[in-house]
């Protein structure tokens, strides 16, 4: 029996058996503050997140801010051309050092003007010479893990995290075979979508297209053919491919990784997106949209609108589902495994992640 004494997750062996039997994870996991705390501390803050387009840090001094599971993060390209990422919290009194995208020779905190070099070391702090015990070396910005793939910057709040391609061993080969590369696409804009619902509902919904014909008839499925979707699941990845209805061809290709990032593109438009868990019942989807420089102007506006409508529809679904699963009226859902291979896969990934995290906790 895999059970922690004060474990809000309950008996994980029982849940695993339930999932193997074609059922969902317990609905109680979608609303419980204890489960949420467990996830944030033991899963989400040790996971890779999409930070944003590599194009935002193209030149030395370029920087942007993002967030990874409640941790504010600054991504910076140094004078040595290296891309680094830091906890975006001033070591003085906690103000956010980087407040917007830009280019600087140093990063100055607006609160009391402590200034950091682009490699995160403290350059100076007004009045620090008055304190003989003040050690500059001890108060640099805290580094986090950073990686780059397909023209996208990824971050992991855990500074000792395995590299992205070690955490997701087949991701690089999928990126190559699906021809995913946003490095030549121009960044259009970042949009945030919000839902009053648990992050797992956003993740589950984004990983399946069973709902596409009913929820997205005038958005996603008016352009892409969900029936033509090819999907292959391995370790923590979901891979999808849907041809365009009008042109066929390569269509849209996507990878989605547990616990919550997406990179996708077709010949015109690209999206990198990150699910951000704010609270047990509140989630954001932060999406960066990109365009192929050869994409006709009219197509850009049309595709931008298409994806924004699609994400809005998805977030609406999440809110309605959230009210159902957190009502306490039903304990779990029944899935159709042959049809919902990806959803079943996701349920297994979650149980495995909880089990690993619980085992790691028990070992400490
Ligand atoms: S909090 Fe940054 S300088 Fe004071
Ligand atoms: Fe959807």
Q: Which among 187, 146, 180 is positioned nearest to 49, based on CA atoms? A: 146
Q: Which among 179, 205, 188 is positioned nearest to 214, based on CA atoms? A: 205
State if residue 92 touches ligand 1 by the CB under 6 angstroms criterion.
Answer: yes
State if residue 230 touches ligand 1 by the CB under 6 angstroms criterion.
Answer: no
State if residue 116 touches ligand 1 by the CB under 6 angstroms criterion.
Answer: no
- Return the ligand 1 atom nearest residue 90 CA: 2
Beta-carbon-side half-sphere exposure of residue 98 (alpha carbons within 13 Å)? 30
**Residues ≥6 apart with Cβ < 8 Å to 282:** 194, 195, 196, 197
Mode of pairing for the β-strands spanning 152-156 and 230-234:
unpaired
Q: For residue 310, is it left (φ>0), alpha (ψ between -120 and 50) or beta?
A: alpha
Ligand 1 center–CA 116 separation, angstroms: 11
pLDDT of residue 274: 98
User: How many CB atoms are located within 10 Å of the residue 160 CB?
Assistant: 8
pLDDT of residue 364: 74
Q: For residue 214, is it left (φ>0), alpha (ψ between -120 and 50) or beta?
A: alpha
- Return the ligand 1 atom nearest residue 109 CA: 2
Q: For residue 7, is it left (φ>0), alpha (ψ between -120 and 50) or beta?
A: beta
Angle between helices 341-363 and 33-42 (to 10 degrees): 80
Q: What is the pTM of this model?
A: 0.94
Protein residue with its CA nearest to atom 3 in ligand 1: 112
pLDDT of residue 362: 76
Q: Which among 30, 204, 22, 196 is positioned nearest to 9, based on CA atoms? A: 30
State if residue 202 touches ligand 1 by the CB under 6 angstroms criterion.
Answer: no
DSSP alpha helices (H): ranges in 110-182? 164-167, 171-177
State if residue 95 touches ligand 1 by the CB under 6 angstroms criterion.
Answer: yes
| Cβ pair 209, 240 in contact under 8 A | yes
State if residue 109 touches ligand 1 by the CB under 6 angstroms criterion.
Answer: yes
Q: How far is CA 182 from the centre of its chain?
A: 16
For the chain, the 3-state helix, strand and coil shares in percent, each to the nearest 5, are 35, 30, 40
- How far apart (Å, rounded) are the C-alpha atoms in residues 253 and 169? 19
Q: Phi and psi dihedrals of 220, rounded to 5? A: -55, -50
Instruction: Classify 151 as helix, strand or coil.
Output: coil
Calculate Rg over the CA atoms of the chain.
21
Beta-carbon-side half-sphere exposure of residue 127 (alpha carbons within 13 Å)? 3
Candidate of 72, 74, 99, 114 to mutate for ligand 1, largest count of ligand atoms within 8 Å of Cβ: 114
Give every residue of the chain whose pLDDT is below 70, as ranges.
Answer: 1-7, 228-234, 248
State if residue 134 touches ligand 1 by the CB under 6 angstroms criterion.
Answer: no
């Amino acid at each position: 029996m895999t059970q922690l004494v004060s474990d809000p997750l309950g008996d994980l062996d029982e849940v695993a058996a339930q999932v193997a039997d074609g059922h969902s994870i317990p609905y109680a996991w979608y609303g419980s503050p204890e489960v949420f705390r467990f996830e944030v501390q033991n899963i989400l803050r040790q996971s890779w997140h999409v930070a944003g387009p590599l194009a935002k840090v193209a030149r030395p001094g370029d920087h942007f801010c993002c967030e990874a599971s409640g941790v504010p993060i600054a991504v910076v390209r140094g004078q040595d051309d290296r891309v680094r990422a830091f906890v975006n919290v001033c070591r003085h009194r906690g103000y956010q050092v980087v407040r917007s995208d830009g280019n600087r020779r140093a990063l100055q905190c607006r609160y009391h003007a402590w200034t950091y070099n682009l490699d995160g070391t403290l350059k100076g702090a007004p009045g620090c010479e008055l304190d003989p015990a003040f050690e500059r070396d001890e108060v640099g910005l805290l580094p986090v893990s950073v990686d780059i793939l397909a023209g996208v910057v990824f971050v992991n709040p855990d500074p000792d995290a395995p590299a992205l391609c070690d955490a997701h061993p087949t991701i690089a080969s999928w990126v190559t075979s699906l021809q995913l590369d946003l490095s030549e696409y121009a960044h259009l804009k970042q949009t945030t979508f919000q839902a009053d619902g648990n992050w797992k509902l956003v993740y589950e919904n984004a990983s399946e297209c069973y709902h596409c014909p009913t929820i997205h008839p005038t958005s996603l499925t008016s352009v892409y053919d969900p029936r033509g979707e090819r999907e292959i699941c391995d370790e923590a990845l979901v891979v999808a491919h849907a041809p365009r209805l009008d042109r066929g061809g390569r269509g849209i290709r996507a990878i989605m990784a547990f616990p919550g990032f997406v990179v996708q593109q077709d010949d015109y438009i690209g999206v990198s997106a990150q699910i951000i868990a704010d609270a047990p019942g509140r989630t954001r989807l932060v999406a960066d949209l990109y365009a192929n420089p050869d994409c006709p102007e009219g197509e850009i506006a049309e595709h931008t609108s298409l994806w924004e409508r699609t994400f809005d529809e998805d977030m609406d679904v999440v809110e309605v589902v959230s009210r159902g699963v957190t009502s306490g009226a039903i304990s779990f859902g029944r899935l159709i495994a042959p049809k919902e291979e990806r959803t079943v896969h996701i349920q297994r990934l979650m149980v495995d992640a909880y089990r690993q995290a619980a085992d790691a906790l028990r070992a400490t």
